Amino acid sequence: MTDLAERKQQLANAAKQAGVFQAAYVGIVNGLFGALDALETATPAQLADKAGVDAGYVTRWCDAAYAFELLDEEGGEFRLTPLGAAFDPDAPDTLMPMAVGSILGAHMTERAAGLMESGERPGEKVLGERETVLPWFGPMLEKRFGPFFREQLVPNVPVFARLNERGGTVADLGCGNGWYLRALASRCDGIRGIGVDGFAENVEQAARLAEAEGLGDRLSFETGDIYDFAPDEPVDAIAMNRAMHHVWSDRDKVFEILSKTLAPGGSAIIWEPNWPAERDALRDERRRGLALQNLSEHVQGNHLLRPEEIEAAFEEVGMEAETYLFADGVEAVIVGTKPTS
């Protein structure tokens, strides 16, 4: 078999399995995995009643989930398979981000296909065009990047040790569901946090989760525009987690805000996917997703960045920058520190 023929067969096999993410997504959004986990076994009607959704849809979903080996069935009752249990959003190392990411990716590529002729770039609002996706965008990022943040970034980027030792106020611009601030506050007892996001639904989710985790007295969240960020007093750190590329077109204003609102000696912590300097690197299995993400970012009016670009922007406002690379260089954390005098 030729290389092309082998590749075609691989793609055909992958296409047959892609439905597992579609079936899983329906179950995730409607709470079916958690409901069935609680029931252990159930008929479709019992599962629908537990989840508070329509029994007709649940019946068809059970058939689809059974077909993709997410469910087993005996005597008309269904139970989760180990694979199905792994898609439960509350499962350890949950596969939920893969399912949500696949649906979001399909939405964004469909939008790119439709907009290519006109060249229109509708901006951030496209994330809210699918009502089932936006509520899961934050949890997707949290489950995907939260462990990496706690296990890799926090121990290896010195600014986090300083925050743990000295405490202070940390602002998270583009905070989503607040997962970054919640993870940091649970590790650093002396910090307080302010989260800002443009989607009210994200802010509501962040506040609710912080309260549930006992962090409501230390963390606050508000709906707002990054460009309007003006705290009552300077903050000790500003985090932008995969958010800088969303405002890069106005970087002069953004970096002016970072410089003005940080206290002397404070740091801005920018975490971004590392766009490679050479196109050949996109053929690397670990970086292929970046190329497709960059197509989606174009729909939103953005593009992915190289760490050197961010370092240069820090230097232009008189801040010293240092880059830390992770995951074989796929992830970059650029820390810009304001002089003490």
Report pLDDT digits (tens) over 208-262.
999 999 999 999 999 999 999 999 999 999 999 999 999 999 999 999 999 999 9
Return the bridge partners of 272, or none.
Answer: 332
What was the pLDDT predicted at 121? 96
Total of domains in the chain: 2
| pLDDT tens-digit readout, 293-321 | 999 999 999 999 999 999 999 999 999 99
Q: Is residue 101 part of a domain?
A: no
pLDDT at 247: 95
Residues 171 and 318 occupy one common structural domain:
yes
d(CA 160, CA 154): 6
**Non-local CB neighbours of 111 within 8 Å, separated by 6+ positions:** 122, 126, 129, 299
Q: Which of 277, 243, 272 is nearest to 257 (CA)?
A: 243
Question: How many residues in total does the chain contain?
Answer: 341
Between strands 191-197 and 168-173, the pairing is: parallel
231 in any annotated domain:
yes
CA atoms within 13 A on the CB side of 162: 13
Task: Clarify whether residues 183 and 324 are in a common domain.
Answer: yes
Q: Is residue 173 part of a domain?
A: yes
Question: Measuring CA to CA, which residue among 198, 260, 189, 242 is closest to residue 219?
Answer: 189
Residue 153 lies in a domain: yes
pLDDT at 10: 87
Do 48 and 148 lie in one domain? The reply is: no
Kindly provide the residue ranges of all beta strands, DSSP E only, lying in 104-248, ordered along the sequence.
168-173, 191-197, 219-223, 235-241
Q: How many CA atoms lie within 13 A of 49 on its CB side?
A: 6
| DSSP strands (E only) in 66-217 | 71-74, 77-80, 168-173, 191-197
Among 23, 52, 86, the domain boundary falls at 86
Q: What pLDDT is recorded for position 290?
A: 94
Q: What is the mean pLDDT of residues 107-121?
A: 96
pLDDT at 13: 85
| pLDDT at res. 195 | 97
Q: Which residue has the tokens 């489950």?
A: 143
- Let me know if residue 291 belongs to a domain: no
pTM (two decimals)? 0.92
Give the integer Cα–Cα distance in Å for 161 and 153: 11
Q: Examine residue 118 and state whether it is found in any structural domain, yes or no.
A: no
Does pLDDT of 199 surpass 60?
yes
Q: Which domain covers residue 272, as residue numbers?
A: 140-278+300-337
Q: Please enumerate in sequence order all residues whose Cβ is within 8 A of that of 36, keeping only pairs 6 or more positions apart, or say none.
A: 42, 47, 50, 71, 78, 79, 80, 84
**Does 126 map to a domain?**
no
Is the pLDDT score of 40 beyond 60?
yes
